[in-house]
């Protein structure tokens, strides 16, 4: 899904763009220019989803499991 150009210039997108650029360099990836905007938009969407998960209230008596065992 393509977004309008105004969301591509938002402060959130600037931060995401820097993250994508740094991660790309760190991992030795080369994302073609024609895909950069889509990658940034996908990370923005993932961030919005993750924010909703992080905001979900948990009871105070729940403890974090040190190791996940399915």
Q: What is the pLDDT of residues 24-70, one digit of tens each?
A: 999 999 999 999 999 999 999 999 999 999 999 988 888 887 887 88
* Calpha distance 66→55 (Å, rounded): 21
Q: What is the model's pLDDT at position 3?
A: 45
Domain residue extents for the chain: 7-51
31, 39 contact by CB (below 8 A): yes
CA distances from 10 to 7, 15, 36, 55, 70 (A): 5, 9, 15, 22, 40
């Amino acid at each position: 899904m393509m977004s309008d150009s105004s969301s591509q210039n938002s402060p959130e997108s600037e931060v995401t763009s820097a993250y994508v650029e740094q991660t790309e360099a760190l991992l030795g990836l080369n994302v073609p220019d024609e895909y950069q905007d889509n990658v940034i938009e996908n990370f923005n969407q993932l961030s919005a989803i993750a924010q909703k998960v992080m905001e979900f209230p948990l009871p105070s008596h729940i403890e974090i499991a040190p190791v996940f065992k399915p």
